[in-house]
Structure 1
Amino acid sequence: MPLFKCTFPGCLQPGVGRQGSCRLCNNHLCTKHLRQDFHHCPDWRVNEREYVIKSTEAEIAEMTALLSQVNVCALRDRAAALRKVDCTVLALSYDHQSRFSVMGGMNYHIPIHFVDGVTWLCRIRRHNITTTPVAHQNRLILSEVATYQFLSSRTQIPIPKVHDYSIYSPSNPIGVGYILMDKLAGKPLSDCDLTDADRECVLSQLADVFAALKQHPFNEIGCLLDPDNLSVGPVLDESTIDADENGNLLLLGPFKSALEYRTASIKHQIELILRGESYSDNAIDAYLVHRFVLDYVIESVTRNEQGPFFLKHMDDKGDHILVDDEFRIVGIIDWEWAQITTQSEAFAAPLYFLDVGLYYSGSNELSRKEVEFASNLKRRNEAGLADLVYGGRVAHRLAHCVGGDTGDIEDLPNHFMGLLRAVLPRNNERETWAHWRGGAMMTYEKDEDLQNLIQKGSK
């Protein structure tokens, strides 16, 4: 059963996952009804100005509705009771101009000011047409708090302290699921211009983080379950979730092996492609890539990854690291998607270190930051971690090839050819996407699923 059904009147088809959920008109749309002759919302690639206007209107409506659900008095009383210090929570109203100081792509943060100068944040999930079911949202809250609990009890990695949390439920007096945590000083590393000395300071501290995480292996791949049970549960990444015929949430994992994990993830993506829920703009290309990776790549990539497995921050673009004026890390935040995964994925360089232009062009050349980070690890007698950074491009490419439905049809060919060159460099250094695709069409020409996609008129 699809996670979302198309909301176009009379349509019974599944809605396309990421692209098919339109915040502007508040609809889930299938492949057919996403076409311009049915779906008339502005496309940011064609009319950016109109798109920004409509997007802003939709965001204001979304956040006004969300904040109206928060019981401010109950939140204030809860925080004051926990800390035994009086506090204030200002009346909630959404200011689009100051959105970046309180909101990210997934969460909104309500400040709680105590009379002695301490500030907490109430972290709540945004809710719009793209939001996954409440059952998934609740699991994310529990897993994020469990991750903070694990990090604070087992490591010295700087993180905000969690004081309270609750999932969405009728008995929750605050009205929404939330996490109460310390507000950390500092600015996002991704917003900083670093000198050579500043960069060395940051790299050294991140090497400490990698070394600390290496000391705590796990036996399974997945996400931590909840604060009272730090065992590993299913994977919670949005690309892996599904629903049964009754609309109940279906999750993948946990997994005992890297091969089991990768195989299940790829097969799930193939199913979504065939159902029209993923890669709607390039279904044939995506099917060929996923089938080829499943048939010819994954077994060799995972052969030496029998475990153990390690915790990874899965959204490591640089805004998750807060630094002070001397570039000391004051906290690593936003662990909601954190996952126990293979060591090659867990200890590949953070995405923040990549040369984005070079990487998205398909090149596997390491950036200066990646090389310096690996060298830093070597100097710390962490040669094994350094080797994982040097060889991390395979993990990066897999993450963007399998389930990386971005809506940009140029990304997948570049990432896939980069993956082939990383896994089989001698055989694929000069091969082009067009040449590979032609060969793959011949390899799978009798494949029933491919033929069905072709007959449907998929691109």
Structure 2
Amino acid sequence: MMGNQNCHAEITFEDNVKWLARFRLQRTSSPPQEVRDWILRSEAATMTFLQQHTCIPVPKIFEWACESEPGNPLGVGYILMEKLDGSPLDWQVATPLQREKLMQQLADVSLEIEKHPFEAMGSLISREAIHFEVRGLAHQSTFRMGQGPLGPFSSSQEGFQAMLQSYLAMLASGEIGIDPPADIYLAHRFRLDILANHWEDVPSDSQFFLTHPDDKGDHILVNDSFDIVGIIDWEWTHTVSKAEAFCSPCMMWPVAKFYSGSNELAEDELRLAAIFHERGREDLASCIINGRKIQRFLFALGPDSSFTDTETFANLFAGLKRAFKVGDDDWKQWRAMALENWKDDELLLSLVARDRH
């Protein structure tokens, strides 16, 4: 089974027990080996932690090895894990009754995750099978060669600032190849201004919680009765603030409206908030109701921030500004003003000059 970043081979034993062998695909765009090993260690640590300390259904890991380990007979990083019976969830084709059943279960998962807070923002890294530590942001572009992972961080503001500064440096150097680089740089630089001037509107951090990094639906395995039998693909997972950990999954977003710049919540998001309200958890309901701020801030960061459609890029930027109530000028007006305001930014000037050539 071939995905965008991983290959899975099913292993069937003589007694009909089935495992999955998960291999990371290597492409010309793949990160360096040091980063690939770090990602695998983090994924293995996260799944082992969830298996040992929570009731969240995740595949059991039997063995894993990094690409660089001398004793690895395969020469590539791998994870051998339990194969769970179930089909990837397609939220868009689920009926209202099926969605209701799933949302009740997702609320259970959130409440279970909340029982296991961490003291810092970062990624679980396993050096041994039973040893865990918080170490760095779990994102490829925050792992700098020669520097290692950034963090851990005591607040989201501190972590996002380090992440954005890393992105800006890599955009300027060409390490992240995105077109047009100057516009992407400006959008990231703007987020630094949000951190400096508007972050007080986002709830402060005191505890951090694991969150799935790609919650578009197919990470959830369900049976024919729409019971959740497993949650998979935990690579890039890291601990985040409560506001980020418990906002709505992107599979529920009104995609067309979101890309057009609207911050209106979908009916499913409102229903999930109502479920938390019914359970007496107004704090978690508030994370969903007010979640667009953090979602807009994090959407389209780093290597995933390139949009060939300039209108879509402008609409997404407008949605970010609306979420933080920062002006109502359009992209072209704001861009001209930003270039003037940041005319002493040498990294930005180098990108503008590159665009002209």
- Contact 1:262–1:298 (Cα < 8 Å) also in 2: no
For residue 250 of structure 2, the aligned residue among 327, 346, 351 is: 351
Number of equivalences: 351
User: Residue 81 of structure 2: SS of its match in structure 1?
Assistant: strand
Which amino acid counterpart does residue 155 of structure 2 have in structure 1?
A: S
2:220 counterpart of 1:325:
no
1:295 equivalenced with 2:295 (yes/no): no
> 2: distance between equivalents of 1:400 and 1:298?
19
* 1:277 counterpart = 2:175: yes
**Residue 239 of structure 1 is aligned with which of 130, 134, 141?**
141
Runs (4+) of structure 1 exceeding 4 A deviation are none
2:32 aligns to what?
133
Are the counterparts in 2 of residues 213 and 311 from structure 1 also a CA contact under 8 Å?
A: yes
C-alpha distance 448-161 of structure 1, shift in aligned 2 (>3 A): closer
Q: Which amino acid aligns with 2:293?
A: V
Aligned residue for 1:366, secondary structure, equals coil
* Match for residue 298 of structure 2 among 388, 399, 406: 399
Q: Check 1:201–1:438 CA distance in 2 against 1; reply closer, same or farther (3 A cut).
A: same
Partner of 2:116: 216
Q: 1:143 to 1:112 in 2, by over 3 A?
A: same
1:338 aligns with 2:237: yes
1:204 corresponds, among 104, 120, 126, to 104
For the residue of structure 1 that corresponds to 2:355, the secondary structure is: coil
On the 8 A contact 2:5/2:24 being kept in 1, the answer is: yes
Find 1:415's aligned residue among 313, 316, 332: 316
Does structure 2 conserve the Cα–Cα contact (< 8 Å) formed by 1:312 and 1:346? Answer: yes
- The match for 1:63 is none
Q: Distance in 2 between matches of 1:165 and 1:452?
A: 43
CA distance in 2, matches of 1:455, 1:400: 27
Matches within 5 A, 1:345-384: 345-384=244-283
TM-fit CA distance, 1:314: 0.4
Distance 1:331 1:199 in 2: 16
Partner of 2:148: 250
Correspondent of 2:9 among 110, 127, 152: 110
Q: Distance in 1 between matches of 2:265 and 2:292?
A: 8
Q: Which amino acid aligns with 1:234?
A: G
Cα deviation code 1:394-420 (max 9, x no counterpart): 122122243242343534432222111
Per-residue CA distance 1:29-66 (angstroms, 9 max, x = gap):
xxxxxxxxxxxxxxxxxxxxxxxxxxxxxxxxxxxxxx
Paired residue type of 2:161: T
User: Are 1:230 and 2:159 counterparts?
Assistant: no
Equivalent residues of 1:160, 1:183 under 8 A apart: yes
The answer to whether residue 66 in structure 2 is matched with residue 164 in structure 1 is no
Distance 1:318 1:241 in 2: 27
Instruction: Show CA shifts across 1:107-148 (max 9, x none).
Output: 111111122222111111111212112221212221111111
Q: Which residue of 2 aligns with 1:151?
A: 50
Q: 3-state SS of the aligned residue for 2:90?
A: helix
> Could you tell me which residue of structure 2 aligns to residue 89 of structure 1?
none
Task: Name stretches of at least 5 consecutive residues in structure 2 with no aligned partner.
Answer: none
Q: Report the CA distance between 1:284 and its aligned residue.
A: 2.0
Q: Which has the larger radius of gyration?
A: 1
Give the drift of 1:443: 1.9
Structure 1, unpaired ranges of 5+? 1-101
8 Å Cα contact 2:137/2:159 also seen in 1: no
Conservation of the 8 A alpha-carbon contact between 1:124 and 1:179: yes
Instruction: Tell me: CA distance 1:123–1:305, structure 2 relative to 1, closer, same or farther (3 Å).
Output: same
Contact 2:178/2:184 (CA < 8 Å) preserved in 1? no
Residue in structure 2 matched with residue 48 of structure 1 by the alignment: none
1:379, CA displacement in angstroms?
Answer: 1.0
**Residue 350 of structure 1: how far off its partner (Å):** 1.0
| SS of corresponding position for 1:435 | helix
State the TM-score, normalized to the length of structure 2: 0.92
2:21 is aligned to 122
Counterpart Cα distance in 1 of 2:91 and 2:107:
20
Which one of 212, 218, 223 corresponds to residue 313 of structure 1? 212
For residue 104 of structure 2, give the secondary structure of its aligned residue in structure 1. helix
Query: Matched residues, percent identical?
Result: 38
Residues 265 and 458 of structure 1: is their aligned pair in 2 closer, same or farther, counting only changes over 3 Å?
A: farther
Structure 1 residues 350, 116: CA separation in 2 closer, same or farther (over 3 Å shift)? same
Of structures 1 and 2, the one scoring higher in RCO (CA 8 A, sep 6+) is: 2
Partner residue of 1:456?
A: 354
Matching residue within 158, 169, 177 for 1:260: 158
